[in-house]
A and B are shown apart, each in its own frame.
Chain A
Amino acid sequence: MNARRLARVLGRPLLYAFLVLFAALTAVPFAWMITSAFKSGGDFFLSLFLPAGNGFLGVAWDHLTLDNFRRLFREVPMARSLVNSVFLASVTSLFATLCGAMGGYALSRFEFRGRGLLTSLVLGTAILPVPLLLAPRFELIYHLHLLDTFAGYLLPQLAPAFGVFLFRQAMLNHIPAEIIESARLEGCGEIRIFFTLVLPLVRPMVGAFIIITFLGVWNDFIGPQIILQSAGRQPLAVTLAGLGSNYGNDYGMMMAGTLVSVAPIICLFLLLQKEFISGLTSGTVKG
């Protein structure tokens, strides 16, 4: 066995050990969050993970409780916030993807006066930091009488510049102009071309962008905090922030709330991770 082959044989287990170690390190905060959500206030600061006791593995299993979750749903409008989060994230991601794809298609495949300027403008707005737009956005929504409405939150996000530019690039790279020309020659209308020809060709990008937007809106705190002021309209991120107070924090309930908040998104990601990754990596390898 030569040295290179030996290194390869020994290197792989080492590589896996290294990866497992870092995966475990990444999992530590999640493990802490999950165990904390099931601990009572009395046990919270007495043990790092599970409450210590005389049970199996030295754990006081009988000390684990669902009380944090009960209080969470009783004292805070969690169910309502969960529905609000799903609504805002899913509707925003769908419309943002649709509008982004349409905008990208127009900029990539239609010849019209000012296209270059418009593309530069879209790119220019994409590089503006979001916090910079908070105040003008708030003022605009206020003057449109859309404050504290779902529309006030959704409208400014329907055609993100980043999405338009992303789809423009994807369409330039993945859709040969000849296919579209052929479709037009066959008498296909633009709407039909878009839905039956263009979108399927950038399907991985569609999937990835939907999930990216979904995650972004799900985790958005500052936007809904500013626009959606009624408790009945607030998503999970804002409701969770209300669990802390100047008088101290109920950490058990906060961890239970965080678990409720991240569980759907973890499930969604696990379900769709293949598509998410293929969307992100499409175009990275010439094929």
Chain B
Amino acid sequence: MPRLPSFLSPAAWVIVGLAAASTIGICLMRPPASRALQFWIFAIQHKPFYQTAIAGWNHTHPDKPVELVLMSGTALQQRMMSSFFSGTPIADVLEVERSNIGPAFAGPLEKIGFVDLTDRLRDQGLLDGINRPSFSPWTSRGRIFGIPHDVHPVLLAYRADLVEAAGIDVSRIETWDDYFRVMAPLQVAAGESGGPGRALVVGWPSDYYIAEMLLLESGGAIFDARGRPTLNAPFNARFLARLATWFTGPRPVARSVDWFSASGHRMLLDGLVVGLPVPDWYAGIILKLEIPGLAGKLKLMPLPAWERGGRRTSVWGGTMLGIAKCSPRREDAWEFAQYLYLARATAEALFRRNGIVSPIRSHWTDPVYDQPDPYFCGQPVGRLFLDQAPHVPVRTSSPFNEQALTAFDNCLISVTDYAVRTGRADPATLVPEAQRLLDQAQRDITALVGRNAFLSSPP
């Protein structure tokens, strides 16, 4: 039997074998030099129907093939910013999530790395054809840099099995005060019956998703239309004081239920909370795919308003399709972007697979949105979300939004703590403290924004 040379151990020879085999594999699988338009996405949930759409495009446009690349949202943001700053390679077309777009809008308008689509959208009639508030996160200093992928209106999902068993009529609910009063029979304080109890709504002070969602619903904002911080607006202080009372007192109406974890899902399954505000993507992906055990137990209703006659929805999340300014094939990219985002088939697939309603208003009449959904007790979920779509609040695109939201949420935590320490349960008594905290936050964020010469100087 031939012996292997002695200078390498059997372990090393195994690695040598793997190296040889994989090198052959790499050589055989070498992809041809790509001349395709690069399209970067971050959501694996969109990949299957994008692949189908791209296959159709590549068939009809063999001279302009498109290659889809999936990567994590963080990687996409880092590569995007790296390209904008230093010219490293970037895709021709890319989908960007709202939480990742801020830094792209931090510089001078003419240096933003995305193609300004404002005129193209206007010329094509898309400014009116697409849900207008959905442009706001992709608009900087009046110019639009992306086609909205979604609307993401928010409704309230509630445990219909518990509510109906208790004989509660949700049609009597218009405001949050109504909601807490009507649902009160379902509330069980922690330890009251020897168990963890049951709260009426998901929410906790350190969750800035819910703080932003509810602030926007109420009509508040932490930046004005020109991107100037408005954290300490008196309206915001009153809102903060009201929200803080959700988490305080002997029977807090809100409870912490993690949005994305197994423990949170378990709490929802166990009925430890009656209602939770959900955007379309949360209903379609997280609830339906990750918590199928709630099928037939949940129903949707418009969010209770903060005041009678007030807005009954909010917005959470969002994605845009942008074209890199450095792309040598911007016209091809624009043609592909329209093909993908404006097609009825894409809108239908987006809803069927992920529950996301289209921002293209002409698609809203599609019967797919009227189909009853067994998960939500046969409700026409698409229609319920679309009914609220035109009313979603306008959002800021400030690159300082994350910092401002964190500061705002820190104020909420402090006001809540103040309410607990002082035993104050009336929102009116909490307003001065909320205002004091927001004034400090305003100074901090204003100083931060002021360091950006491009955003702080008057246009």
- List chain A positions with a Cβ less than 8 A from chain B: 41-42, 44-46, 75-76, 80, 83-84, 86-87, 89-91, 93-94, 97, 142, 147-148, 150, 195-196, 199-200, 203-204, 206-207, 210-211, 214, 225, 229-232, 238, 241-251, 268, 271-272, 275-276
Contact = CB atoms under 8 A, between A and B. Distances in A.
Interface string B206-226: 000000000000000000000
B175 interface: no
B290 A199 contact: no
Contacts of A203: 6-9
Given A83-B26, A268-B14, A229 B9 contact: no
A51 to B, nearest CB: 12
Interface stretch (B259-267, B363-371, B406-414, B425-433): B259-267
Nearest to A233: B31
Nearest to B31: A232
A242 B44 contact: yes
Contacts of A196: 6-7
Contacts of A199: 7-8
B129 interface: no
Contact of A42 (B8, B282, B286, B292): B292
Contacts of B194: none
B453 interface: no
A207 B7 contact: no
A87 B25 contact: yes
A225 B269 CA distance: 37
B29 interface: yes
Contact of B45 (A93, A210, A245): A245
Interface string B319-362: 00000000000000000000000000000000000100000000
Contacts of A250: 44-45, 289
B107 interface: no
Interface string B26-61: 100101001000000011110110000000000000
A147 B71 contact: no
Contacts, number: 149
Contact of B260 (A75, A97, A248): A248
B11 A272 contact: yes
A86 B19 CA distance: 7
A206 B13 CA distance: 11
B42 A245 contact: yes
Given A45-B269, A214-B15, A91 B23 contact: yes
Given A45-B290, A231-B70, A207 B12 contact: yes
18 contacts: A41-B290, A75-B48, A76-B70, A84-B26, A86-B18, A86-B25, A203-B7, A210-B11, A214-B15, A232-B31, A242-B75, A245-B45, A246-B43, A246-B317, A248-B289, A271-B11, A272-B11, A275-B11
Contact of B286 (A84, A86, A248): A248
B369 to A, nearest CB: 19
B19 A87 contact: yes
B247 interface: no
A232 B79 CA distance: 17
Given A245-B44, A275-B11, A94 B19 contact: yes
B292 A41 contact: yes
Contacts of B317: 246-247
Contacts of B48: 75
B12 A97 contact: yes
A90 B412 CA distance: 53
Contacts of A97: 12
B89 interface: yes
B89 A148 contact: yes
Which of the listed residues A150, A204, A242 has the most CB atoms from chain B within 10 Å of its own CB? Answer: A242
